[in-house]
Structure 1
Amino acid sequence: MVVCVGLLVSQPAQAAKLKTYTQPFQNTTTSLSGQSVAMNTYFIKMDYWRVKQVTLNLNFQISQLSDRQLSDITVSVNDVKFASFRPKRQTGLQTKSIKIPLRLIQGQNNLRISGQILNAAGKRDYRLGQTPANWLTVDSHSSVNFQYQLMPPTKAIKSFYDHFSGPDTIANRNSVIRTPAQATNAELAASMVVLTGESRVITTENQQIPVTTLADKTVNAADYQVVVGRYQHLPQRFQRMIKRQDLQGQGQIRFIHSQGRYYLIVTALTDRLLTQTAKFVANQELMQETQTASEAVTDETQTFTSALHYQGRYQLTDTTDKLVGSGHQERSYFVSLPVDRNNADGSQITLHLRYAKNLDFKSALATVYVNDTAVGSRHLTARRADNDTFTVTLPKGMALGHSFTVRVALDLPVQQPANSTNQETPWVSIESDSVAAIKSAPGNDLLFSNYPNLFLKNSTYDNLVVVRPKTMTTTDYATLTNIFNLIGNYAQSNQGRIRLYDHQPSADVLKHANVIAFGSAKQNPLVNRLNSHLYFQYNQARTGLLSNEKLSIERLYGQQIGTAQLLRSPYNAKKGLLVVTGASAEATYLASTQINYQRNIAQYSGDAIVVDPDNNHFGYRFKKNKLIDRQLNTRAVLSRHSQLLLYLGIALAMVVLITVTLILLLGKHGRLHRRPKTAKSTSHSHKRRRHHGN
């Protein structure tokens, strides 16, 4: 009753406040060439927003040679055009603010920006010329701004979850995960399970949900808080709201509204049930389906995550996308993935095209780009004009992250160039069954280009052991948050095992687990013991890092820098071991800032990272043999070339068979050739004997 009354009373007060949220474009800065160009991106509207106004803030630049009286730009949302304008008569970056009609706004919205960029051939001659100077650049700082009233959560857990995971909530630092002040290793592990479940599904790439303790007063103002801990370690005010007898043989998820804040209590009497309950919270589908204020979780509760409704195929366009006009034209499609990919090995893009038959097919061409990297081209032909399907394979090792852009560039020349792009022919249609089939092959490199995939198996964390400082500071919590935020971005399932230690684990654990150690050599006994294996080693007093063949380090500088290093585990040569360390908790945190988001880790292809307080960061490669398992690499090579080996085997067998056949034939021919001579010799012998007898 207390929860319901609190929600009802607070609703009018919260609903009266007008809030704003600016959603930046997910795309990177995109340049499109051609007389007729278009690009796609998307933005979302949360269900708990009562939207009052939506504004597109478009930052763009067009060719300095373009004619402002002829060029134009059109904006559409969800395939409905609503605004067109001509660029200003100025060079450089321009900004255009356009109000989007509220009737067009849905939950997830497709925004298209298309343009006709035309150049003048001379001061008085406005014949349209097709050159590389026909271009439009849409800057990544473009955004969609919402003004809305915030509808407070209902009493259902699903309503809390929507608010807690909302991009506006996270951006405004109103979401936080908290543990008891002196959290046990099991409580920390459970909180990391919750964090990875959140980082797997949140749409923001620039913010994360912090994990800290109930003693950290800096986050007390957060409106939405998930508290993870065993019942006996919870504050009294939460214990009074949950009966101990309700926790016999089961964990509990309880939504509480108290003192103007919304809390989701995740608790149990045992470590095992606490972990099981945390896995329920890490399952987006289960949380979005829970319509009650409390949920019991037992050992039999099925908490495993589904495949996120994603089978690796992404449709580029929902409807047929038609391009009309001669010359060079482009379309850009934004692809958002449910989990990050640090390689695109085996990924393909299939385009289904139809096009006019009046093209100059000697030079008509379609080219596919991924993040401005050309991945394949195809000549257009009259024979395939009514139904042309082709597939390009993405380069091995290409990092895609959480999203990427597919750009289709079409060169549509005609025998006699037309005077306007508004003519009905030539044309090309990109059909709706054009898809990007995305997957990642398991990597075998002990490098940051393969991190954190080398710690994942079957799309989840693979027996992950984290060795932490014995006493955790607020900064240590921030480091731990950074480490698991990235892992959650790549983990597709919540069924992996996470264990934390505040001391050095046994040799058996270190041998069979994937190990991450963070903290200074003085704080963390495992880091101290691994010092001789580090690429950047500590001095004898363990107060700073020393110079090596890659970097000269001044004494005070060595006390301030942090480093992340991917080692070959001295406990198991077929496993990696990540060390995130610095002479202080603050220095260690600096190193973790480069392994928290995909956009950061993608900068590094070596096995060591160094970060200083001025945010200068450097990557290095030390190990000569990058392979985790040489035998695995050999098997992979054999597997990739199995068909070739089969053909070679068949060819070799045929050569052997032909050789044996020839030998047998030659042998038989030799015997046949020798037999007549023997017979003739015998005949002569008989004749001689008869002659002597006479």
Structure 2
Amino acid sequence: MKKRLMHIFLTLGICAVFVLMSSSVIASAAPNNDNQKTFSLNSDIVFRGDFSSHEIYFNVSKWWDVSGAELQVNYTRSQISTQNAQTFFVFYINNIPFRSQEIFYKENDEVQTLKINVPTRLLKSGNNTLKIEAYMRISDLPCVDDVNPANWATINKGTGITVSFNNKLANDNIGNFPYPYLKENNNPQVNTQIVVPNNYKDYDVSNALMMQSYLSRLFTTGDYNGTIVKENDINKNNNIIYIGSYNDLPAELKKSVGSVNGIDFNKEALIQQVNSPYSNNQNIKALMILSDNQDMISKAVRLMMNSSLVMQLDSPRYIVNDNVKELQEIQGDKDTLTMQDLGSDSIYLQGPFTRSVNLGYKMPKNKVLASGGKIHLNMRYSQNLDFNKALVTVYINNVPVGSKKLSYDKANGDTLELTIPRDIPNSAYLNIEISFDLAMTNTWCEKRQEKTPWAYVTPDSYIYLPSVQSKDYNFQRYPNPYVENYAFNNVLVVTPDNMNSTDLTKLGNMFALMGTGTKYNTGNITVESGNSVGDLVNDSNLIVYGTPSNNPFIKKINNDLWFKYNSNYTGFESNAKQYLTTPFNENITTFQMCKSPFNNQRGMLVITSPKDKNLQDATLYLSDSKKILDLTGDSAIVDQYGNLQNFQMIKPENNAPSFDMFKQSNLLTKGLMGLLVLIIVLVGVSIFLYLNKYKKEDKNDSDDIPYRKRFKRR
């Protein structure tokens, strides 16, 4: 019996050790997203010919104490290879090689993976470059592999470098902001809360939404999901940004502020940062923005949104008064974009065959590309090209704009100017590709990477992109009209009275997504509860949020909605576009965009449902950067299960200028318009001749009168 018990205990002990070891291995294998950042390719890169290369740019934060870095390369190699043919990858950090690797095709592994430790001594704070260079052969024959299309390798999506680090401790100086409220890592969850008083004022929420939009603009790991809560719902493990009155501060925060003697909260605002009194972690902070003056607290929030001012605040406390100039200088509409505006001071391409670079430009959602756009490139290129084949081509959104043949005589100074055609897809994002075909005589027979051709596009090159204001209120153009020219555009948010933390966070997430389209700390977001909407409604772009029971303003505008509520406000009525059954109509949320009934030069978005839970869940479509792409038209229905239906209630307006619309007209329309113009001209000429004739006759008659008078006197 004792032996049996010993066997049982021994077996249980071994199992326990095995479980502990397994859990330890699993724990060690799991990545620590808080202390790692991965920079990777978003799409596949194809290498062709003997020589190829690609660069990945990444940033090492000044707040990282780097402990390691690993490169992961996922690649696919051509299946065709002779026994003596060899292929090599060489890896560089900041143009310094650190690893060479021979690669092979493996029949059983379509995608192969290399994992390589990167020497941390090669990394520097700030911008860094990872370069992958390839020498590829599929045969041992000369003059074949460089032109053989079967000689290829693909660097697959997901290839990249992961940097491991420990976050540095920050002191309490305000100038460190937005660290540690935002940290660069792989964790998509944000450990920062914006807190307003339990008895918040509407302008406290306005400022909270402004701050939320700013943090979202800076966030680099997906959609920003920080919360906005009332002070009773503070998560004590999070960083805190408190916006409100000093008198409403929770006791723990008020104690940490210390003396406020000499501060007039009716005329000034206080910005102060401390270690969070709720946490023992020295890197968990509390930033407090305090005032009883609506203008001053708004000024203080906007100051924190101006990085050039924040970096000057080398202390834990700053007092804001009327003398502070917190607003950023707005750069006016720029139709002419330089290379720097497009993210590059200049363009330098090196190597034979096709070499290209992609430049991106994100147009404001309130703008539509007009006709007359131009691309002007000033360039130089090497003189060792085969000028019978050398060419430069420009594409916009994968549509060719035009090409030009390169010339030996103009190699030291050439110009390309192209007019952007009207058939370019009218997208808010323009992908501009500049491609050089740097063909060389007998290049196909080169086995060494020598006498490399090059092309250089100078910094004074530019792209002219005229635009017109979009007149449409629909989800394709959202967040227009609420964001205009990269700033909030007279936004009035009409909300339920005394919102809870869930509603505050849902609104905050919506404005976080809108904030990604802003650049400036200017513009206005005003919050008013449905019971206290004032004259501001007459000159604002409206966002109305709530249910008929908690936001009385919804009942006031019910007759202006595409989907109206029934008489007792328990469900939506059918309309010409959609028949609604009961109880389906009681368990849906609607998004409805239209011109404001108070000012037809402004827009209105109504987000409403008979039930709070359905309303809160449906806002995911307006706060998720992928979900919002599912929204089209000017109205939508989201049911309680998250299913979406889109509707177009009114036909979108043609935003093209008049001359553009004439050019887009068919031949018959143009002919009729031409005939109408001709008739108008002929009528005008006839009237002119008629009037001119009678004017002369009247003049002749008047000239005869003196002579007749003289004749009578005789």
TM bin, normalised by shorter chain, reads: 0.7 to 0.9
Alignment partners' CA distance in 1, 2:186 and 2:442 = 57
Aligned to 2:476: 449
Q: What are the ranges of 5 or more consecutive residues in structure 1 without an aligned counterpart?
A: 1-16, 639-647, 668-694
Match of 2:237 among 221, 239, 242: 221
- 1:21-420 alignment runs, 5 A limit: 21-25=36-40, 28-32=42-46, 34-35=48-49, 36-61=51-76, 69-90=85-106, 92-116=110-134, 120=138, 127-128=144-145, 130=147, 138-168=155-185, 171-217=188-234, 219-222=235-238, 224-240=239-255, 241-248=257-264, 249-257=267-275, 258=277, 259-260=279-280, 261-306=284-329, 313-315=338-340, 321-325=348-352, 327=353, 329-333=354-358, 345=369, 351-357=377-383, 359-369=385-395, 372=398, 374-390=400-416, 395=424, 397-400=426-429, 407-414=433-440, 416=442, 418-420=444-446
Which residue is 1:509 aligned to?
536
Preserved CA contact (<8 Å) 2:368 2:470: no
TM-score, length-normalised on structure 2? 0.74
**Alpha-carbon separation, structure 2, partners of 1:29 and 1:368:** 21
Greater CA drift, 294-303 or 30-39: 30-39
1:136 and 1:527 mapped to 2: Cα distance?
59
Paired letter, 1:220: K
Secondary structure of residue in 2 paired with 1:446: coil
Q: Which residue of 2 aligns with 1:622?
A: 649
Q: Is the 8 A contact 1:359 1:426 kept in 2?
A: no
Q: Secondary structure at the match of 1:565?
A: strand
Tell me which residue corresponds to 2:519: 492
- Say whether the 8 Å CA contact 1:32–1:330 is kept in structure 2: no
Deviation at 1:127, TM superposition (A): 2.0
Contact 2:393–2:434 under 8 Å retained in 1: yes
Q: Deviations over 1:620-662 (max 9, x none)?
A: 42211436xx8x9669989xxxxxxxxx9xxx9xx99xx99xx
| Cα distance in 1, alignment partners of residues 332 and 151 from structure 2 | 40
Q: 1:320 to 1:470 in 2, by over 3 A?
A: closer
2:453 aligns with: 427
Give the Cα–Cα distance (whole angstroms) in 2 for the partners of residues 72 and 611 of structure 1: 53
- Name the CA distance, whole Å, in 2 between partners of 1:618 and 1:66: 53
Q: Equivalent residues in 2 for 1:598-637 (5 A)?
A: 601=628, 604-612=631-639, 616-626=643-653
Name the SS of the counterpart of 2:444 in structure 1: coil
Question: Which of 581, 588, 612 is matched with 1:585 structurally?
Answer: 612
Q: Which range moves more in the overlay, 548-557 or 268-277?
A: 548-557
Correspondent of 1:527 among 550, 554, 567: 554
Structure 1 residues 221-244: Cα deviation after superposition (integer angstroms, max 9, x where no partner): 11x211111122211222332545
**CA distance in 2 between partners of 1:313 and 1:485 (Å):** 29
Q: Distance in 2 between matches of 1:409 and 1:340?
A: 26
Aligned-pair identity (%)? 22
Matches within 5 A, 1:530-569: 530-545=557-572, 555=582, 558-569=585-596
Alignment CA distance shift 1:472-1:507 (3 Å): closer
| Gap runs ≥5 in structure 2 | 1-31, 663-673, 694-714
Q: Distance in 1 between matches of 2:296 and 2:639?
A: 41
TM-score, normalising length: structure 1: 0.76
Secondary structure in structure 2 of the residue aligned to 1:490? coil
- After superposition, the C-alpha distances for 1:507-564 in whole angstroms (9 at most, x for unaligned) are 7432211111112333322333333433344455444456656566665555554443
What is the CA-CA distance between 1:425 and the residue it aligns to? 4.8
How far is 1:366 from its partner?
2.7
Letter in 1 for 2:172: K
- Cα deviation code 1:590-626 (max 9, x no counterpart): 4433333655545555223444566554544221143
Q: 1:299 to 1:21 in 2, by over 3 A?
A: same
CA distance in 2, matches of 1:470, 1:359: 72
Distance 2:119 2:387 in 1: 43
RMSD: 4.2
Q: What is the CA distance between 1:481 and its match in structure 2? A: 1.2
Q: Within 1, Cα distance between the matches of 2:586 and 2:135?
A: 55
Residues 358 and 124 of structure 1: is their aligned pair in 2 closer, same or farther, counting only changes over 3 Å?
Answer: closer
Given the superposition, is the C-alpha separation of residues 561 and 139 from structure 1 closer, same or farther in structure 2, using an over 3 Å criterion?
farther
Closer/same/farther in 2, CA of residues 580 and 67 from structure 1, 3 Å limit: farther
CA distance in 2, matches of 1:534, 1:133: 60
Distance in 2 between the 1:138 and 1:59 partners?
A: 6
Corresponding residue SS for 1:418 = helix
In structure 2, distance between residues paired with 1:573 and 1:227: 37
What SS class does the counterpart of residue 166 from structure 2 fall into? Answer: strand
Change (3 A) 1:244 1:66: farther
- Which amino acid in structure 2 is aligned with residue 275 of structure 1? S
Q: What displacement does 1:433 show?
A: 2.7
Query: Offset at 1:285?
Result: 1.9
Contact (CA 8 Å) 1:447, 1:607: kept in 2 or not?
yes
State the shift of 1:291 in Å.
0.5
Distance in 1 between residues matched to 2:438 and 2:55, nearest whole Å? 21
